[in-house]
Structures are given as C-alpha cells and as structure tokens.
Amino acid sequence: MAIVEHYYTKFEEENFYHIYNRSIDKKPMFCNDGNYEYFLKKYDAYLSAVIDTYAYCLLGNHFHFLIRIKDLTTFKKLSNQPDNKSTHDIISHQFRKFFQCYAMSFNKQQNRTGTLFQTPFKRALVDDDSYFRKLIYYIHSNPETHQLVKDFREWKWSSYQTMLMEKHTQLKNQKCLNGLAISNNLKSTI
C-alpha cells in the first residue's frame, strides 16, 4: 500500500521522484510486448520534454520510474504555458495526458471500458543519495521480488540492460551506474 504522502507530493524543478502506479483492478495493464513498447513510446512522447528518466521497470499490473524534473523554462515558451502555471501542474498534466493516451489504446485493444490506472498516481521525493541508490536496486529487482524471473537482470522491460549500454540513450545512466555498483553489493547481503 502506498504511503499517503505519496499521493500529494508536489513536483518541483530539478528534484528527483519515484513515480509508481498500478492498474485500478490489479489486472494486467500489459498483455503483450506491443503494450510494453507502446507504453514506453508514449511515455517518451508526452514526458521527455519535461523530465529525465534515470531508471524504470514495467511489470504486468504496475510500473516504477525514477525521474528528475527538468528546468521548464524552454518547455513553457515552446508550449505557450502561462508564466503563472506551476511546475507541479505542468508535470501532472503531462502525466495525465500520457496515462489517458495509453488507457484509451489499451481499452480499445482489450475491449474494455473505464479507468485503467489508480488515481492519483504515486510519487515520492528522492532527497538523498542513499535513497537514490536503494531505489535503483528496488526498481530493477521488482520482477525478481514478484517472482516473474529468477534474476532481475533477465527482465526485458526494465532499464537495467539499457544502463549497461555504451551507446547514447535518453536514459540518464551514468549516475545510475554509480548507484547500481553500490546496490549490487546490497543484493549479495540480502
């Protein structure tokens, strides 16, 4: 169960957040590889202009992201946002549009109606390095925790393998790799 404050945490520029949510009925929100791919494609389309992604994991009925809110000055100008619109309102609106887009497509494909995601979605401020490192491990180890795979490194729908790539990606992997080296030591002590 989510901590109550995670429903009301306000977004602020330059801060890190753990974003997580699940389907309203705990049933799958991803039924095939195409669903996972579409979710990530729409995530990028609606959110890459306003956030940087450091880690993620998509599971059958829920997901986790570690993000950082960008400086929104350029976004506000390009999207004609009013100067008095808060960072929290802009980020929340972009997430809402993303969730609605995915839910509409998923509902059509699955011949279902109604809300797909719990609202409001959960977000926790990541305000220290220790929490950041533990969160990287927590996000990536989720498939193993839920017994979807024996080793979390095998899970296809997380950022773990992307973080290890040397080629440029949108994932902000250098800080995560620094944290992951420490987090891998955590796994051996569990």
CATH of the domain at 21: 3.30.70.1290
pLDDT tens by residue, 58-101: 999 999 999 999 999 888 888 887 778 899 999 999 999 999 99
Range of the domain at 116: 4-189
Region label for 175, one of left (φ > 0), alpha (ψ between -120 and 50) or beta (otherwise): alpha
Which of 166, 149, 159, 155 has the alpha carbon at shortest distance from 180?
159
Determine the Cα–Cα distance for residues 25 and 37; give it in Å rounded to an integer: 22
pLDDT tens by residue, 86-140: 999 999 999 999 999 999 999 999 999 999 999 889 999 999 888 988 998 999 9
Given a cut of 80, whether residue 4 has pLDDT beyond it is no
Which residue is listed with tokens 């579409």? 38
Count of structural domains, the chain = 1
Residue at 181: amino acid letter? A
Residue percentage of the chain with pLDDT more than 70: 83
- Strand locations in the chain (E): 16-22, 51-58, 62-69, 122-126
Q: What is the pLDDT of residue 111?
A: 95
Given a cut of 90, whether residue 153 has pLDDT beyond it is no
- pTM (2 d.p.): 0.84
